[in-house]
Structure 1
């Protein structure tokens, strides 16, 4: 009897020892991360997704290099990049959701009025708008974000000719697939809010959506999650930018003045460098530009100015307002980060290739981790730096 008890005791000791050793070995192996399950995010009283900000930030966003928790990465790994057209007419401000974009492209759409393509992937879902129409050159930048990137807009230029964005969307195979045109989707994914801005405004400044509604629609109606129906990952064909940690030596102060078109005071942009936060804060038309969702000023960690040839489409559209930009090829570029200015060149080999930014020595520039804001200026655009 005593002998049997000793055998059982030794067996139990051997079992727990083996279990402990196995756990230790497995936990330290690369396989462990493949099977770990981060605690899912929670929601607040309004149903907004909430990530635990106390968790270690070890995972780099593939779009702008900003680091977040494994919990947040597990969430963004389930969807693909989403581009949303947001207008910048003075009567549309303050817009919603711009600060939550990982990357922003800003360029004149017509009549000196700029428009933005905001790329969303890694940050928590937000309301975005006012959403506006598609333009051909935005398709070229959207095409840089891998296989079938989601593109949300309200209609678009459709006059026959080189600026016919809606026709090009179909030519690229996006129509009724990764293209999220409000004209064919409607409520409740998109809706009009006539009171959100707190003042009377025209109907064209009232269309909104949310990133989670758009991701949900894409997954449920178009079978476009992180992978397409045939199993192709969105990362197919995607080339990320290179990123670095903040410079140890930073500029003390810097102000950047941008005029896409001259003599359009409502659309001049001024960025002021904040050395403590190592970021730039934006004014538009001489007024602090804020995000309606949070009432916080718009900021960016990297400001990139691309000089590109601008021309009229000459497509017969009213006042010849449709524009074209030479998005492919090469040209001058200026990059601002860490309170410093770097002159260089941009190049883009084809519609789907990344716009590469090199310094004067021909080396690809490494951006700070965080928001990248692209200003696309015509060759005679104004850039003043102090």
Structure 2
């Protein structure tokens, strides 16, 4: 997905060797056309904030070491961080106000995604596949599933410079004509507004999963939280920093589900309905909060100690679903 291999710099004369090299060059050119280059412009794409009232796009994004740096995550409106097998993490990037040209690496869906996405109206979920017993639940859920086997031609592509399964990418414009718009964010309880009073000055906050760690460090110069994963500054595939305008640490119940991966590890079930405590990080401050979502079809509300809604700062919102 990044560079293509150079030729050997050797001149072949006419005949069989020349024809063979010509065929190889043509094949390489066709492959390069299929595999997108990860330039910064292609990570975020053209910003189109006037949504057409359609669905949001959610993409399941790989987040183990070989999958980094990711492409297009910096263009998401909301990034959910979920625990998966063996205590590792996976991201679900949600796009409502703009569609990047490329997002990935794309990985498989989990049962937790289904309830989480019910906050949105008929969302599109792009993923690489799922455990065979989970697929019927995904197909019956109120969402539009898109996988390499069901999506339009050219929507999913494989990169040649990473090994599978960490090399699958999606072109959002092949799945949606236009972004949904800010109303779909509000539907899920993501609202923006001025910084509320109070809060505690905070330079950094770390959230640990059993086998993954996230640290969000405040940069006053950039008015953003800098994201670090497993002790290393998170980058985009274009070389920039991965940042957040707001970080929400939402403490939830995480238990064993009825599903397992191919290695026999249980898939954690993250319950995003109910209520609990949270911490909202914005503008270099930490705000203790409560979250509440009575049912899967309702939005998640984040409120302060007086019950008033806590507005978010402009920019990507990262919601880390941490075990209570």
Q: 1:211 aligns with which of 172, 180, 183?
A: 172
For residues 340 and 49 of structure 1, do their structure 2 counterparts lie closer, same or farther at Cα, with a shift above 3 Å needed? closer
* Deviation sequence 1:37-80 (CA, Å, 0-9, x none): xxxxxxxx99x9646xxxxxxxxxxxxxxxxxxxx444x32643
CA deviations over 1:344-375 (Å, ceiling 9, x no partner): 21111222211111112222211112211000
Q: State the distance in 2 between where 1:157 and 1:375 align.
A: 24
SS at match of 1:99: helix
Name the CA distance, whole Å, in 2 between partners of 1:377 and 1:215.
31
**In the aligned structure 1, how far is the partner of 2:275 from the partner of 2:66?**
35
Q: TM-score normalised to the size of structure 1? A: 0.66
Q: For 1:231-285, what per-residue CA distance to the aligned partner results, in whole angstroms no more than 9, with x for missing partners?
A: xxx9699354332135699976511111122xx3xx3111110123221001112
Contact 1:85 1:153 in 2 (8 A): yes
Aligned counterpart, 1:311: 255
Match of 2:62 among 87, 99, 103: 87
- Give the secondary structure class of the aligned counterpart of 1:319: coil
Summarize deviations over 1:139-171 as a string: whole Å, max 9, x none.
22222122x111111111333xxxx2x222222
Q: Higher relative contact order by CA 8 Å / sep ≥ 6: 1 or 2?
A: 2
Match of 1:260 among 195, 209, 213: 209
1:63 equivalent in structure 2: none
SS in 1 for 2:175: helix
Distance 1:171 1:124 in 2: 26
The residue that corresponds to 1:367 in the other structure is 312
Paired residues of 1:252 and 1:275 also in contact (CA < 8 A): no
- Provide the aligned C-alpha RMSD in A: 2.9
CA, structure 1 residues 297+226, in 2 after alignment: closer, same or farther (shift >3 Å)?
A: closer
After TM superposition, the structure 1 = structure 2 runs for residues 352-363 of structure 1, keeping only pairs within 5 Å, are 352-363=297-308
Residue in structure 2 matching 1:97, options 72, 75, 88: 72
| Preserved CA contact (<8 Å) 1:313 1:320 | no
In 2, Cα distance between equivalents of 1:359 and 1:250: 10
Unaligned runs of at least 5 residues, structure 2: 1-40
SS of 1:244 mapped into structure 2: coil
Structure 2 counterpart SS, 1:368: coil
Bigger Rg, which one: 1
- 1:170 — aligned with what? 139
Contact 1:275–1:339 under 8 Å retained in 2: yes
Call closer, same or farther: CA 1:151–1:97 in 2, change over 3 Å: same
1:330–1:341 distance in 2 versus 1, CA, 3 Å: same
In 2, Cα distance between equivalents of 1:113 and 1:375: 13
Instruction: Go from structure 1 to structure 2 and tell me whether the alpha carbon gap of 1:300 and 1:288 turns closer, same or farther (over 3 Å shift).
Output: same
Q: Look up the match of 2:124.
A: 150
Q: d(CA) in 1 for partners of 2:185 and 2:317? A: 22
